[in-house]
Amino acid sequence: MVWMGLLVLSPFLVSLVGCQHTQNSSAPTHPAGEQSPLGTGNLSFPWSRLRLPRYIVPLHYRILLHANLTNLSFTGSVQIQIDVQNNTNWVVLHSKGLQISKATILDQNLSHLSEKVLPVLHNPSHEQIGIFSPRVLSNGQKYFLYIEFGAELAEGFYGFYKSTYRTSTGETRTLALTHFEPTSARMAFPCFDEPSFKANFSVRIRRSPEYTSLSNMPVIKTLKISDDLLEDWFAASVKMSTYLVAFVICDFKSVTATTSSGVQVSIYATPEKWQQTHYALEVAVKMLDFYEEYFNIRYPLPKQDLIAIPDFQSGAMENWGLTTYRETSLLFDPLTSSVTDKLWVTMVIGHELAHQWFGNLVTMEWWNDIWLNEGFARYMEYISVEATYPDLKVEEYLLHTCFAAVGHDSLNSSRPISSSAENPTQIKEMFDTVSYDKGACVLHMLRHFLTDEVFQSGIVRYLRKYSYRNARNQDLWDSLVNTCSEEDFISGKHCYSSSQAAKNAYLFAGEHLDLTAMMNTWTLQKGIPVVTVTRKGSRLLLRQDRFLRTVLPSDSIWPTLQKGFLWHIPLTFKTDASSSIHRHLMTTQTDSIDIGEDVSWVKVNTDMTGYYVVHYEDGGWDVITKLLRENHTALSYKDRTHLIHNAFQLVTAGHLPINKALDLIGYLRLETNTVPLLEGLGYLEAFYRLIEKRNELEVTHNLGKYILQFFRAVIDQQTWSDSGSVSERRLRSEVLALACHLDDPPCLERARQNFKDWLQSNRTLSLPTDVAETVFAVGAQDDHGWASLLHEYNISLSAAQKAKILFALTCSRDTNKLQRLLELGLEGKVIRLQDLSSLILMVARNPQGYHLAWDFVKENWDSLVQKLQLGSFCIRNIIIGTTGQFTSPEELAEVQLFFESIKEQVSQLRATQVALDNVKKNVRWVQRNLEPLKNWLNYQMQ
């Protein structure tokens, strides 16, 4: 699943977004032959735990569903073949919001065990039902559980829910679809809704003839039930978890192609957006071909459908054979989609198709290890896009994924990659920056440590061994260190004997490496290390500490927060004395390396392949600054970007004065690579956006003036077109957006002229896609422009264009207009509910809107939770994003007061603690750095 992260990735905002299985306890049972009363009044619910008992295992579901898209309800039945592993009278499974009308149990010959309908008990707090059988279900026997049920199509984005779209003639059409991850299959049919209960699924769907139905597998036959009702039968699925089951009933159009191995790929969209599906088709075919080769495992289904959904909370979802997407994540319109939109579509498809192996073929055993799905899929985005679309320069973005992870992980409120999660709210919160971004960056570090070849062969071994099964962290480490048990021992260099396997040892740099011990330090403890480097003659002295941006080393709590933290860090470094990359495994608090007397500079964490921050003590940063000014190309663009990032992170953490970091980026006048340029510019912009909200007029003015002066040459080089490489186009979008935000006269003049031309063409003129958002944002500043954009937003058939217009509308300086947007978002008609959290964050980014957005969240909190669900990334983004620009003790107190008032609701949420940590960090940053920044700017402006 791809979630929609925070829009503003700044150093001040956190980017969004081990537990053992419950042991078998004895199954509730009555003595054989004893008939218990059938009235549920005599029965109490037989199970008290959140996790289902293990003594009944589902083997095959036969599901029949009939959705009525007129009255927005559905009815259905499910027959589940179960394997009983303890004598019991009870079957306990999941159900949420379903009206159960009938439940029976049949033996293997399909004979009823009881003449009467069986009693069904409900435990709504655990989303479970218990079905009582008067005859004991015997250990070792298989039975069929048959249940009939019905419900309304859900409001919102989970379970079996309704969506609508409007045609260009104004007609509203309805569709029904599913989104089950992580715990919502139980809203569509009663099931054993935990990832380890894998089974086969045979789906039948009844529909009106004007609709199409889709599911994980192809349709094998269609029966005519009556003149206005058809029944589609889908082929039986492979063995999979319930959260991957999917069905859609819609009237969409599709385009289809076939991969080199014969998999049929189709892209579905609303009929009027059909023309925007062709790029996704090309990408999906290429990606499936790539993954089959990379994993050396055939895609196991005959087809892969990708469908663009008008109402969809996540970015996308990896249902096996039927991946579902937001329209912005799948559709590409050459006239309105920018190069950034194109990259996003490519990466999201790469992510979801990687899941067909990581997550679908091999699934984590429980949600505590969701990173095994999401961290891998996030990392495979980069590997797959780099291989299939090298011109998109996706490797330039991997650094930012890791920077987002560092931002989150350097708060005390972070969590380990593998964390306990039991109830649905806690499980939803696992889909966060730690699982996705930190997971990807730890895998990136591991790949570079083990080498590409060993990493790839290890994950192929992992996927082969655990196909159609569930896995844990340990299973991955065992696969990567090339171990195998006696029974699957094979000869060859990648397999050790069982005695060697017990050591989990991989020979690296002349040492036996305990990979499990190493990786446990990255997955079972929270946080990120900072490696402090000091030069003493020919030796490099190293010290590792936990990197925290919320607490200073001088604070009394510092030693407590450091206690017990130690990482096994695969260090890499380069010097001016040789072109090779040096490696060293640091497993202790302090260490040293001999680098020779002749070395004049050292850069640790080469290309940021390692997940750690580096601090150069005792004048080390001065040496780096001098190197960048005199010969910046001695370091790769990734190293230069990493140095800028580390320097400003160390400022926030209190390890480095802000003037040192600002002096470091002085070399950017010489920089020609987009990535370090944007990194340095990004920090200056972040400071500006923070300070402009504080009514600090002098420093705001001086900082804006400095940015425009310093980057004048870069700004003036930009053309208002779509020409150039992907990197050049990305730079254009970012630089011109900031220049206009800083009221740069030439930028504003050009944007206004472009907007005027667009209006005069009756909005038919195709603006250059890279600058369209900036043109719209400038145009939205007057009443007529704003109203015209809102009208265009309402009728546009391009999701990419709508996203640009919505951002522009939130740039208005008129608080009444911002308030109106927020109300439209909550209403969910003109602005869809799926865009509400993004809308709130965009308003919060506006200096005139950031208190408005926060007040809106407080006033509408209950409604937001009801519409978006408590543990969802949308609520998390709203909590963290609306408070992310607060910088005063008064604002901190206000946030604490509100969180206290909703304490009962949010007691399980980590997001409130992350938000508080963030505000505390901002408050301290301003207290420490505002005056030095002011002085530095005054000196620069002399």
The backbone torsions φ and ψ at residue 347, rounded to the nearest 5 degrees and listed phi first, read -70, -40
83 token code pair: 């394997």
126 is an annotated ligand-binding site residue:
no
**Nearest C-alpha neighbor of 802 from the set 181, 221, 326:** 326
429 is an annotated ligand-binding site residue:
no
3-state secondary structure 615-642: EECCCHHHHHHHHHHHHHHHCCHHHHHH
646 token code pair: 């580390």
- The amino acid sitting at 510 is G
Q: Which residues contact 521 (CB under 8 A, 6 or more apart)?
A: 566, 567, 568
Give CA–CA dist 14/881, Å, rounded. 8
Say how many residues make up the chain. Answer: 942
Q: Which helix (H) or strand (E) holds 144?
A: strand 142-152
**SS3 state of residue 504:** coil
| Other residues' Cβ atoms within 10 Å of the Cβ of residue 37 | 11
Q: What is the DSSP letter of 835?
A: G
Long-range contacts of 158-163 (CB under 8 A, 24+ apart): 158/184, 158/187, 158/313, 158/869, 159/96, 159/97, 159/184, 159/185, 159/186, 159/187, 159/188, 160/65, 160/67, 160/74, 160/187, 160/188, 160/247, 161/311, 162/69, 162/72, 163/309, 163/310, 163/311, 163/312
Q: What is the DSSP letter of 113?
A: S
What residues does 149 pair with on adjacent strands? 76, 100
The answer to whether 811 touches 375, Cβ cutoff 8 Å, is no
Give CA–CA dist 153/583, Å, rounded. 57
444 is an annotated ligand-binding site residue:
no
The backbone torsions φ and ψ at residue 897, rounded to the nearest 5 degrees and listed phi first, read -65, -45
487 labelled catalytic:
no
Q: Does residue 182 have a cis bond before it (omega within 30 degrees)?
A: yes
Q: Which helix (H) or strand (E) holds 570?
A: strand 569-575
The answer to whether 307 touches 269, Cβ cutoff 8 Å, is yes
Give 737-760 as a DSSP string.
Answer: HHHHHTT-HHHHHHHHHHHHHHHH
Catalytic residue (one of 194, 318, 352, 381) = 352
Q: Which helix (H) or strand (E) holds 539?
A: strand 539-546
Q: Where are the alpha helices (DSSP H) in 221-305?
A: 278-295
Residues flagged as binding site for Zn(2+):
351, 355, 374
Give the residue numbers annotated as catalytic, written as ranges.
352
